[in-house]
């Protein structure tokens, strides 16, 4: 394979039409905008909402476990955690090992999550209605599968 040959028009068209990264990121930007508009009255971004929901589900979770669960880059997680802590939505405590930080929702964080959940449900219902309930559910399951496959490939490349 010649890596120095200029790309053909067909190859470039394939990037937009069948590239997983391009199409997932494009969908992600659109879907993120929908959720961002819905969450605006509550004052959280979609990523922050998901972090609040994950912390609420776990009760107390370490930063490392949350980064892994969310498949987030640790620095991106740290930025969002810092914002949520500054706004009084998350509490951070040192674990038994001082290198470990435990995250939990504050009372304000629980209240914010409670206000955001109906907005999340509304967007979910609108998306499912627009795309079709069965297709929407299948698409979510497919995205979970793509995530697991990508993580497996990343794990192999790191070993």
What distance, in Å, lies between the first and last C-alpha atoms of the chain?
A: 26
CA distance 11 to 123: 36
For each of the domains in the chain, give its residue range(s) and CATH number, in order of start.
Answer: 22-158 (1.10.10.10)
Q: What Rg value do the Cα atoms of the chain yield, rounded?
A: 19
39-48, 62-71, 106-115, range with the lowest pLDDT: 62-71
Q: What are the phi and psi torsion angles at 4 (to 5°)?
A: -95, -10
75-89 pLDDT, tens digit per residue, is: 889 899 999 999 999
CA distance 85 to 79: 10
Q: Which residue has the tokens 């995250």?
A: 103
Which letter does DSSP use for residue 7 in this model?
P
- The two beta strands, 101-105 and 90-94, are antiparallel
> For residue range 88-123, what is the model confidence (pLDDT) as tens digits?
999 999 877 777 888 999 999 999 999 999 999 999
């Amino acid at each position: 394979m010649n890596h120095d040959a200029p790309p053909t028009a067909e190859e470039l068209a394939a990037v937009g039409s069948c590239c997983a990264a391009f199409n997932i990121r494009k969908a992600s930007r659109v879907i993120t905008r929908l959720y961002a508009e819905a969450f605006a009255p509550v004052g959280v971004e979609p990523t922050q909402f998901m972090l609040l929901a994950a912390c609420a589900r776990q009760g107390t979770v370490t930063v490392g476990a949350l980064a892994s669960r969310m498949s987030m880059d640790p620095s991106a997680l740290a930025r969002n955690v810092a914002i949520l802590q500054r706004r009084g939505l998350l509490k951070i405590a040192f674990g038994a090992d001082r290198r470990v930080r435990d995250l939990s929702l504050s009372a304000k964080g629980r209240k914010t999550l409670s206000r955001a959940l109906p907005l999340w449900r509304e967007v979910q219902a609108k998306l499912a209605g627009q795309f079709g309930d069965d297709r929407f559910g299948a698409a979510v399951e497919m995205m979970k599968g793509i995530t697991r496959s990508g993580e497996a490939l990343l794990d192999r490349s790191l070993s």
